């Protein structure tokens, strides 16, 4: 049996995997969704690594969005990891940040809507959250996701990656073809650079695991084989 470790992104929480988890469990896999503090990338990495260090292999580690930055660090030098899955995610190489990785692709319209509080934490205003973060999710469900989003540190955009775990483990990537948060071209670029087994999901927004959980679960299950 393979253990599946799910790592959420910024302005989200572990419940963003709630539709994928039952599919993975039904396939016989122990599944754990980590709740990161979102206070900094190093804090998130420490949380994920603390959970990972308590698991015996094989473990498939899955990261969504900024969770891709986190798993790139947390799964480095972790022999129990059998594969990585990036879901509409950043996947930096050593010396790169999410910001530098994204610069060649230009900003999306959503970038101008993020709100930053006095503590230097960002969220997406609830009135535009459904439009940009999950346009293909049921409107009522999208409003709930907007309400429970976790404020995240702005500094994570400039966090510089160390040695990347994706150079050490087989990788899979799920491209959200209608992503309004991370450019789909960026997703395709990092997937190709990693040599990842790639699944492209037409019409999918950034929260593809909520709108099309079967497609995401199938990619994770393929990594677990």
Catalytic residues: 65
What radius of gyration do the chain's Cα atoms show? 16
Measured CA to CA, the distance from residue 210 to residue 140 in angstroms comes to: 13
Give residues with Cβ within 8 angstroms of 142, minimum separation 6: 129, 130, 133, 134
164: helix, strand or coil = coil
Reading phi first (left if > 0) and then psi (alpha if -120 to 50, else beta), residue 168 is in alpha
Measured CA to CA, the distance from residue 72 to residue 53 in angstroms comes to: 15
Secondary structure element (H or E) that encloses residue 68, with its range: helix 67-74
Q: What is the DSSP string of 79-105?
A: TTEEEEEEES---PPTT--HHHHHGGG
Secondary structure element (H or E) that encloses residue 186, with its range: helix 184-194
Least Cα distance to 160 among 64, 48, 72 occurs for: 72
């Amino acid at each position: 049996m393979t253990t599946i470790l799910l790592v959420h992104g910024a302005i989200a929480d572990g419940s963003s995997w709630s539709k994928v988890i039952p599919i993975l469990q039904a396939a016989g896999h122990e599944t754990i969704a980590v709740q990161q503090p979102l206070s900094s990338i190093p804090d998130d990495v420490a949380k994920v690594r603390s959970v990972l260090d308590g698991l015996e292999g094989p473990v498939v580690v899955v990261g969504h969005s900024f969770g891709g930055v986190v798993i790139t660090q947390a799964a480095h030098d972790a022999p129990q990891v059998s594969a990585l899955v990036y879901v509409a995610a950043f996947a930096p190489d050593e010396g790169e940040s999410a910001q530098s990785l994204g610069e060649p692709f230009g900003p999306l319209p959503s970038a101008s809507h993020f709100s930053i509080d006095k503590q230097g934490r960002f969220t997406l205003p609830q009135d535009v959250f459904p439009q940009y973060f999950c346009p293909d999710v049921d409107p009522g469900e999208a409003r709930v996701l907007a309400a429970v989003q976790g404020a995240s540190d702005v500094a994570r955009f400039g966090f510089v990656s160390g040695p990347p775990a994706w150079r050490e483990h087989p990788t899979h990537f799920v491209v959200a073809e209608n992503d309004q948060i991370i450019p789909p071209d960026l997703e395709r670029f990092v997937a190709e650079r990693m040599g990842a087994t790639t699944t492209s999901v037409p019409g999918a927004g950034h929260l593809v695991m909520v709108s099309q959980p079967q497609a995401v679960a199938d990619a994770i299950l393929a990594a677990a084989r």
